[in-house]
Amino acid sequence: MSNFTKGAAWVRGEIVPVSEATIAVNDWGVTHSDCVYDVCGVNDGAFFRLQDHIDRFHASMGSLQMSIEQTPEEVRAILHAIVAKSGLRSSYAAMVTSRGVPMIPGSRDPRDCGNHFFAWCVPYIYVFKPEVAARGSRLHVPEHIHRIPQDSVDLTAKNYHWGDMTRGLLVALEKGFDSVALTDHAGNLTEGPGFNVFAVIDGKLVTPDGGVLMGITRQTVIEIAGEMNMVVEQRPLPLEEFYEADEVFTATTGGGVSPVTKVNDRVFSNGAPGPIALEFGETYRAWLERPELRDEVTYS
Ligand SMILES: *Cc1c(COP(=O)(O)O)cnc(C)c1O
């Protein structure tokens, strides 16, 4: 039983410890990174905005022409079951659909693959570790690595196509930064590996609207701004303008809102987390407690 404390997975109809969950080596999910997925956070024993994650997951599958047997209600029940089994009150819960193995051996036709669903949960994952978030993260924007264009890969479908991000991360980490954010080929900022980006410019929030995943944390930040009567502009954000912002912060399920204190050579708010980023971080944490956004897990 205690072997579930590191996480639980649902594969092929069974719940197993996450370390025992497997998929086939010739699954297109492995050979072509051909998966769509979503990740919902569990905070203090409840999923946050679970329905929004399940809806986006099904939209992502639609975009990549994948389909599964499970209904959205069944996906929800499976996620509840694995988190309950793990006993984790704070968890990173992933739902995944893989293209699958060709049912006609050797077929190169994606439509011949048996799309299949699996899910897993592990202890909560922070994109920026709490100590990094507390001091403010430092992001690298590489000059020569760009986010893949939207007409090559649908970036609004959450997917495993991470070649650009991994390449950027390797450069950023080598240079001593905490993470990376990529520009598109026109020089506009997009996003980083698993997070959206916001800039505070002239008292308004600006966040890119193209070449990015429409993050649910991003959406929550926009809704929080609405309650604060703060204007939000969703539009292209040129890197030069981004450098001139008063503050910068990131938004992700993996840790909420985190301040950024440095982008390449540019230092923001004297190298300390900015007041607006801190306010959004605190408000986001308060929203995690809003009953209407929570789906309580029933642990046995
Ligand atoms: C998951 C993800 C995000 C953040 O989305 P949330 O729904 O807020 O977790 C941003 N960008 C990419 C590329 C992602 O995969």
Q: Average the pLDDT over 275-282 and give the result.
A: 98
- Bridge partner list, 96: 37, 118
Which residues, 6 or more positions from 83, have their beta carbon under 8 angstroms from its beta carbon?
8, 42, 47, 91, 93, 121, 297
Pairing of strands 46-48, 35-43: antiparallel
Per-residue pLDDT tens for 22-66? Answer: 999 999 999 999 999 999 999 999 999 999 999 999 999 999 999
Distance from residue 108's CA to the centre of ligand 1 (Å): 30
Query: What is the pLDDT at residue 59?
Result: 98
pTM (predicted TM-score): 0.97
| Sequence-distant (≥ 6) Cβ neighbours of residue 163 within 8 angstroms | 33, 148
pLDDT digits (tens, 9 = 90+) for 135-177: 999 999 999 999 999 999 999 999 999 999 999 999 999 999 9
> Which whole number is the average pLDDT over 222-241?
98
Mean pLDDT computed over every residue of the chain: 97
Pocket lining for ligand 1, CB < 6 angstroms: 158, 191, 194-196, 213, 215-218, 251-253
pLDDT of residue 3: 87
Q: What's the confidence (pLDDT) of residue 2?
A: 58
For residue 114, the CA-to-ligand 1 centroid distance in Å is: 26
What tens digit of pLDDT does each residue of 71-98 get? Answer: 999 999 999 999 999 999 999 999 999 9
Residues 183-193, mean pLDDT to the nearest whole number: 98
Q: Ligand 1 centre from 26 Cα, in Å? A: 27
- Above pLDDT 70, what percent of the chain? 99
What is the C-alpha separation between 200 and 274, in angstroms, rounded? Answer: 10
